[in-house]
Structure 1
Amino acid sequence: MSSNDEAVGAGNRGHPTNGLSDTVHQRNRLGILTIAAEAERVEVAYLRDALELTAGNLSRHLAVLEEADLIQIERGYHGRRPKTWIRITEQGQAALAAEINALRELLRRHQEFRAAT
């Protein structure tokens, strides 16, 4: 195998981008999952503000993640005020870990290629 074949991802492992999930990799959904992984649960209003999303846009991203069983949505009250929280599921934790691992491998390969040139 030539070094050019390796640079374009030929071989048994394929290219690291093959390990990226279209569901997880989208910027806002990746943000939702990483924030949720850092806490037991996170309030939807916090996500909206932290990620600078509209309520409608955030709602759509949450629906995609919930349909994929990557998050659970909880509705309740804090005092008399209705609140919505999300929790990352075990499947969501695994999907986030796989995404981060694929990104690490992509970065490693890129740095290795740059160092060789």
Structure 2
Amino acid sequence: MSKEKERDFRYDHQLLDKVIHARIRFAALAYLHAVDQASFVEIRDQIMATDGNLSVHMRKLESAGYISCDKEFQARKPQTNYSITPLGRQALMTYRGHLDSFLGDEVQLQPV
């Protein structure tokens, strides 16, 4: 098979996890990967999302089994805490590996 027609699986977009690929879901999962557990408010503030937007994305991550949600009351106020699950951590690392394969070793990203 010639080089022109040879398929390079490093660029197969179907390998990217659709659940993680949305910007807010990716940022929230990456943040939880870094801290293990955080409140809704903390995640919202760290990734600069709105309440409504974040809540929709957190439900999608929870439905996929990538995060767990624990609701409790503190001083009579509801508080929602999230944790990354082992499945979520593995999915994020797999996603990262696919991104790395897209970029290759020789690419160095510069800050915008």
Give TM class, smaller chain: 0.7 to 0.9
Do residues 95 (structure 1) and 86 (structure 2) align? no
TM-score by length of 2: 0.83
**Deviation beyond 6 Å, 4+ runs, structure 1:** none
Question: Where does residue 54 of structure 2 map in the other structure?
Answer: 58
Q: Percent identity?
A: 28
SS at match of 1:87: strand
Distance in structure 2 (CA, Å) of the matches to 1:76 and 1:21: 31
CA–CA separation in structure 1 for the residues paired with 2:18 and 2:55: 18
Does residue 106 of structure 2 align to residue 107 of structure 1?
Answer: no
Q: Distance in 1 between matches of 2:49 and 2:35?
A: 20
Cα displacement string for residues 45-75 of structure 1 (whole angstroms, at most 9, x for unaligned residues): 0111122211111000001011111100111
More displaced stretch, 21-30 vs 101-110: 101-110
- Whether the 8 Å contact between 1:24 and 1:96 is mirrored in structure 2 is yes
Aligned to 1:114: none
Q: Is there any run of 5+ residues in structure 1 with no aligned partner, and where?
A: 112-117
Number of residue pairs the alignment of both structures matches: 107
More helix by percentage: 1
Does the CA-based 8 Å contact 1:21-1:99 persist in structure 2? yes
Between structure 1 and structure 2, the one with the greater Rg is: 1
Q: Is the 8 A contact 1:33 1:88 kept in 2?
A: yes
CA displacement 1:84-113 (0-9 Å, x = unmatched): 1100111101110110000000000784xx
Q: TM-score, normalised by structure 1?
A: 0.80
Q: Equivalent residue for 1:26?
A: 22
| Aligned residue among 57, 68, 73 for 2:69 | 73
Paired residue for 2:5? 5
Q: Which runs of 5+ in 2 are unaligned?
A: 108-112
Aligned to 1:3, the other structure's residue is in SS state coil
